[in-house]
Structure 1
Amino acid sequence: MYIAVCDDQIEELEKVMGLLQAWQTDRRAAVRLRSFRSAGELLDAAQRERFTLYLLDVLMPGVTGMEAAREIRSFDDAADIVFLTTSPGFAYESYGVRALEYLLKPVSAKLLFPLLDRLYQREQNPQDGLTVRSEGVLVRLPFSQLSYVGVMGKHLFFHMTDDSVHEVVGALKEYEGALLARPEFMRTHRSYIVNMLQAEKLSPAGVVTFSGRSVPVSRLLYNQLQKDYLKLLFSGRDA
């Protein structure tokens, strides 16, 4: 994992870099870190190097973090983007560049470390997934890119994070063992299993994924689902 951090305030930049270094040491993670004081400097480097994660301050002089994110998306659709800012006013705008998270300063280890954990785990096991037969073709579906599975009649629909959908003839019980054995996959309804690491919102009305899809939640399952979701996000690592 190659992480770029950009903030025009030196104190904030040093604080975030310190958190990243502490996480790296604690997890013994093989990651590279690079810091920038301006979005222009970051964009110059991003044209030459492939960062896997950008931590961007939103409010910077000259090119803002939001503008930098739009530029990054013009040549890199795969990298994760996380905004770090004192203002909640840009949260809605951040969805336009498919930002993974929008964290308010001061950023703490309690918020940042679980995010880094799941990204690092995803990178270490990129091909861990299911193989299904869709339209006569065998397709490999990495767990990290599977948003949710829904069933309608005798057909399953595997919804991916890139909005593609793979239709499979079969029953949900054929796959639920492999899915529910993983902590990130949870049953929200008798007809749906969701990757809760792809959940942007959870309420009694349903789950909204980062790709904007809505998935129903059973009233009977909601309370336990909420507990399991919080446990997943804050998986016992206190800082």
Structure 2
Amino acid sequence: MLKIAICDDQPDDLSVLRAYVGEFLSQRDTGMELRAFTHPDTLLTAMAQERFPLYILDIVLPMMSGLELGREIRRLDREAQIIYATTEPQFALQAYAASPINYLVKPLDKEQLFDTLDLAVSKIDLAGQRSFPVKTAESLRVLKLEEIVCCEYRNHTAAFTLTTGEELVSRSFRESFAEYAAPLLRDRHFLQCHTAFAVNMRWVERFAKDSFTLCGGKAVPIAARQYPAVRDAYMDYLMGKGADK
């Protein structure tokens, strides 16, 4: 289930937003649900455990502004859709540092909000609903692609690092790592940067000539001979080139 996050510290405004977005979801049958937050800190804490492909943010918030919150969201998730809904029209230009899909001024026009939500939902990458089955020594686990940070080949097994920090190790297999990981690598978010590693580029925090640093601080090597191809593939990904697979 994909989730929409609203962050607004004004109870009346939050109530209106929840009612409007709830009505939109009931009409469109998008398969999404709504989560509401009154403080940026609680939203950022939730983001450590789950992904929100769509955010609706106020500008004036406690402790940090919606502008700062949007930039932090964009740092953590380059593909999330962000909508600003605020009483402060003067921050529209600064808001575009977070690449929002729209900047709406309260009181909200419901039709304009619905049009913006339709556009946002059409842009959401639904790859997070795709999955990868992993046979372990104990059971079969079905992982959502979005929760896989990286996959590492270890002595005829695959070790999956997940966004929760969990490591899941598969049963041994006979095929090559490239063959085993092929379903992952058909998704545009995944890149094999080394004979023994495939990374989910949505979770890359730093790119260097010899390694990726992923969320949680995990470092993954880049094979020297593969560096030009890896660099080009990662740059294309950042620029949004190529169709979703």
Instruction: Give the TM-score range, shorter chain.
Output: 0.5 to 0.7
Give the AA of the match of 1:167.
V
In the aligned structure 1, how far is the partner of 2:123 from the partner of 2:136?
28
Q: How does 1:17-166 map to 2 (within 5 A)?
A: 39-41=9-11, 45=15, 51=34, 68-72=39-43, 77-80=49-52, 85=67, 99-100=76-77, 105-107=94-96, 111-112=99-100, 120-122=124-126, 125-166=127-168
Give the aligned partner of residue 221 of structure 2.
216
1:144-194 Cα deviation digits (max 9, x unpaired): 211110012222101112211110122513422212222211111111011
In the aligned structure 2, how far is the partner of 1:152 from the partner of 1:211?
20
Give the AA of the match of 2:237.
L
In the aligned structure 2, how far is the partner of 1:117 from the partner of 1:152?
39
| CA separation of 1:41 and 1:179: change in aligned 2, threshold 3 A | same
2:207 is aligned with 1:202: yes
Give the aligned partner of residue 86 of structure 2.
none
Identity %: 15
In the aligned structure 2, how far is the partner of 1:220 from the partner of 1:118?
38
In the aligned structure 2, how far is the partner of 1:160 from the partner of 1:131?
14
In the aligned structure 2, how far is the partner of 1:161 from the partner of 1:43?
32
1:1-48 Cα deviation digits (max 9, x unpaired): 665566xxxxxxxxxxxxxxxxxxxxxxxxxxxxxxx53449965999
C-alpha contact 2:6 2:35 (8 A) present in aligned 1:
no
Match of 1:181 among 179, 186, 190: 186
In the aligned structure 2, how far is the partner of 1:118 from the partner of 1:153?
42
| CA separation of 1:231 and 1:140: change in aligned 2, threshold 3 A | same
What is the RMSD computed on CA atoms of the aligned residues? 4.3
Instruction: Give the stretch that moved more between structures: 205-214 or 147-156.
Output: 205-214
Q: If the length of structure 1 is used for normalisation, what is the TM-score?
A: 0.58
In the aligned structure 2, how far is the partner of 1:53 from the partner of 1:230?
34
Residue 215 of structure 1 aligns to a residue whose secondary structure is strand
C-alpha contact 1:86 1:105 (8 A) present in aligned 2:
no
1:209-238 Cα deviation digits (max 9, x unpaired): 22332111112222221211121222249x
2:196 is aligned with 1:191: yes
1:80-118 Cα deviation digits (max 9, x unpaired): 37986379xx98xx59xx953699945169x456xx689
| CA separation of 1:127 and 1:236: change in aligned 2, threshold 3 A | closer
| CA separation of 1:155 and 1:120: change in aligned 2, threshold 3 A | same
C-alpha contact 2:18 2:36 (8 A) present in aligned 1:
no
